[in-house]
Homo-oligomer: A and B are copies of this chain.
Amino acid sequence: MCPHVDDIPLDKSNAVAIETDSPHIPMPNGNSNVETSSSSKDASTLPPAAKPVHQQQKKNAYGPRYSDFLSNTSNWSIIESTLREGEQFANAFFNLETKMKIAKALDDFGVEYIELTSPAASPESFEDCKAICNMGLKKAKILTHIRCHMDDARLAVETGVDGVDVVIGTSSFLREHSHGKDMTWITKQAIEVIEFVKSKGIEIRFSSEDSFRSELVDLLSIYRTVDKVGLNRVGVADTVGCADPRQVYDLVRTLRGVVSCDIECHFHNDTGCAIANAYAALEAGATHIDTSVLGIGERNGITPLGGLIARMMVADPEYVKSKYNLPMLREIENLVAEAVEISVPFNNYITGFCAFTHKAGIHAKAILANPATYEILKPEDFGMSRYVSIGHRLTGWNAVKSRAEQLKLEMTDEQVKDATAKIKELADTRTQSMDDVDRILRIYHTAVTSGQMKVGEQEVLQELLDKHMPQDK
């Protein structure tokens, strides 16, 4: 199917990760590990390589298969575009100082590339580009993103960037209403720019724009042409956010068979698929994903850095942890959120205030027994912490029991259930804070141990609470 198998690492780590690499992070159907170690001892004691493939597959009916030899979910790079796509966000206006702060933070985090606004956009953009190239970042290569014009290309190479990302609209919408050129002109132009940039000895990427509304044959033709001319990456861009994961998988998988260079993907999030599309692209053999911090960009933005990390942690946690400084995520998001005057969404991936909060009683009970039951990500990997919310009417007595234990209050199950009933009764009128719950437990514990009340004497308990609980609430 793909003539470039040799270029693409057979994705062992990915399949193996699910079996053994991440015992603490349960993977889809990862529980079958248990089955195996109990039911088929001999097999499980063999080294993975020695196990028959069909048996390894059987362990995870939904997981990666060895037939997915194209998958790069354990072999990919980030092209961080907060300083390019992100600068196109409605609120974004980065001065050089802010740009340098963000570039430094992204480099410390460990992104492979940082993409900057075209130096052709304004005189300051040009100067900022040069300044950031001179920062001497540790790891991140600097790219700038330009239109497919020789004028822009000449400016770009002058800035000292490590590479140039060239883009041109290939859909008839853009050909008609944007630059108004046909595919022949586009191809000719592309080759001239590519040859020029290569002659300067730096990286070059050629991307179509609005790829998913472009004629498939036009796309494949121009990608094949530029690939033969020779370049580092071709780019696929869902500029309007219309693509879904199966379309992305089909296109990238087809493209993987047409070009031998790397494949970069750029996904807008207008219809909520930017993260899933990035994942599908990697499964189909893409190598580079564009992100921005908190996803900021045109309209509602692109694949967010944190969201992509969350997704990829499921595929191969060890690989992600080995590449990036995950606990920095929150700090980078705060830095950018402040710069563009927005607040981090309440439901943000990983760092959202409720990302690791468990509320329903049944969840709380299981989480207390084993966090893996209701968590696919471990908060500690990101320097975050887990919170089990119990002061509400959905709470279960198991959560209350564990809290009582944390407070070193010796109580029988009967007593805990009795106290829980009261907590839920109070929560029916107002959510009880952790402090409220603690007070109720302490008052209850003192009362039953001192003999002031017996289990089930709700009236006595109410009197004690009225007496000892703060009334201001």
Closest to A304 in B: B272
A271-B377 in contact (CB<8A): yes
Q: Does A67 contact B (CB under 8 A)?
A: no
A28-B280 in contact (CB<8A): no
Per the bound structure, the CA–CA distance linking A431 and B271 in Å amounts to: 29
Closest to A30 in B: B213
Q: Does A283 contact B (CB under 8 A)?
A: yes
A300-B352 in contact (CB<8A): yes
Closest to A310 in B: B271
A298-B123 in contact (CB<8A): no
Per the bound structure, the CA–CA distance linking A276 and B277 in Å amounts to: 8
Per the bound structure, the CA–CA distance linking A140 and B387 in Å amounts to: 35
Given contacts A121-B393, A271-B349, contact A354 B216 (CB under 8 A): no
CB distance from A216 to the nearest CB of B (A): 4
Interface size class of A (residues with CB under 8 A): 35 or more
Given contacts A298-B359, A376-B242, contact A271 B280 (CB under 8 A): no
A359-B88 in contact (CB<8A): yes
CB distance from A154 to the nearest CB of B (A): 19
Which chain A residues numbered 347 to 361 have a C-beta less than 8 Å away from chain B? 347-349, 352-361
Residues of B contacting A300 in the complex (Cβ-Cβ under 8 angstroms): 347-349, 352, 354-355
Residues of B contacting A358 in the complex (Cβ-Cβ under 8 angstroms): 298-299
B356-A299 in contact (CB<8A): yes
Partner of A389, one of B90, B240, B313, B392: B90
B394-A87 in contact (CB<8A): yes
Residues of B contacting A174 in the complex (Cβ-Cβ under 8 angstroms): 366, 373
Closest to A389 in B: B90
A173-B372 in contact (CB<8A): yes
Given contacts A359-B298, A394-B87, contact A349 B310 (CB under 8 A): no
CB distance from A181 to the nearest CB of B (A): 13
- Can you tell how many copies of this chain the complex includes? 2
Q: Does A23 contact B (CB under 8 A)?
A: no
A28-B366 in contact (CB<8A): no
Residues of B contacting A275 in the complex (Cβ-Cβ under 8 angstroms): 271-273, 276
Per the bound structure, the CA–CA distance linking A342 and B352 in Å amounts to: 12
B215-A178 in contact (CB<8A): no
Which chain A residues numbered 84 to 142 have a C-beta less than 8 Å away from chain B? 87-91, 93, 117, 121-125
A272-B178 in contact (CB<8A): no
Partner of A369, one of B125, B177, B272: B177
Residues of B contacting A313 in the complex (Cβ-Cβ under 8 angstroms): 271
Closest to A430 in B: B93
A contact residues vs B (CB 8 Å cutoff):
26-32, 34-35, 61-63, 87-91, 93, 117, 121-125, 147, 169, 171-174, 176-178, 210, 212-216, 239-247, 249-251, 269-277, 279-280, 283, 294-296, 298-301, 304, 307-308, 310-311, 313-314, 342-343, 345-349, 352-363, 365-366, 369-370, 372-377, 387, 389, 392-394, 424-425, 427-428, 430-431
What 18 additional pairs, Cβ within 8 angstroms, besides A177-B369, A245-B280? A26-B173, A29-B216, A61-B216, A62-B247, A90-B353, A122-B424, A122-B428, A124-B428, A147-B362, A173-B373, A174-B366, A244-B276, A245-B276, A272-B308, A298-B358, A342-B346, A343-B346, A345-B345
Q: What would be 29 A-B contacts, judged by CB atoms less than 8 Å apart? A: A26-B240, A28-B213, A29-B214, A61-B251, A87-B394, A88-B360, A88-B363, A89-B354, A90-B353, A174-B366, A178-B362, A178-B373, A210-B373, A239-B374, A240-B376, A242-B314, A245-B279, A246-B246, A246-B283, A269-B347, A270-B375, A271-B314, A271-B376, A271-B377, A298-B360, A299-B374, A300-B355, A342-B346, A345-B348
